[in-house]
Amino acid sequence: MSARFSLTSIVLLLALLFAGTAMAVKPDEMLADPALEARARALSEGLRCMVCQNQSIDESDADLARDLRILVRQRLVAGDTDQQVMDYVVSRYGEFVLLKPRFDLRNALLWGTPVLLLLVGGGFIVLTARSRRTLATKSLSADEQAALDTILDRD
């Protein structure tokens, strides 16, 4: 009985989590052609809602997201390729509209900074470990050893 109850609870919880996403695209926005609608959905999942900023336009209920979804569908119906639609939206709203930014020379520093920081941090750790190892393996001079022996003999 409890296993059935918990399974039902999990299913209901998942249904509630995905209910908002399912309702973002209104039926009047959908295209009659299933192939074009699938392309529109795929493109919409890669475009950022400029109002919500952490949601795709496919998931967002904001008015701007709705306008962008309609724009994407209009461009597809007009015969644009997926790349042409993305280029058009980026030309109007900038690279920020892409959920996954493109890699080019303008944003190479943005993409390369984490790698650079990892390399610098790793090099620092290696150099620190090497310097500690050389300090620890250095033997005592004759005077230092004699002083240590006299200290140890006193105790």
Mean pLDDT for the stretch of residues 112-131: 90
Task: Check the CA dihedral 51-56-58-59 and report its sign.
Answer: negative
How many CB atoms lie under 10 A from the CB of residue 57? 30
Strand partners, 56: 48
Q: Cβ neighbours of residue 75 under 8 Å, at least 6 residues apart?
A: 84, 85, 88
Tracing tokens 């920020």 back to the chain, one arrives at 96
Is 56 in a helix, a strand, or coil?
strand
Residues in Cβ contact with 70 at an 8 Å cutoff, skipping those fewer than 6 apart: 29
Mean pLDDT of 67-84: 90
Average pLDDT, the chain: 81
Compute the average pLDDT of residues 119-125.
94
Higher pLDDT, 92 or 153: 92
pLDDT tens digits for 9-58? 776 666 666 554 444 666 656 666 788 888 888 998 989 888 887 888 88
pLDDT for residue 21: 47
Q: Rounded to 5 degrees, what angle do the CA atoms 108, 114, 115 make?
A: 85
Alpha carbon 12 to its chain's center = 28
Domain map of the chain by residue range?
A: 2-102, 107-154
Smallest Cα–Cα separation from 42: which of 95, 1, 81?
Answer: 81
Residue 54 per-residue DSSP state: S
Amino acid at 128: T
What's the confidence (pLDDT) of residue 106?
A: 74
Any idea which architecture 2-102 has in CATH? Orthogonal Bundle (1.10)
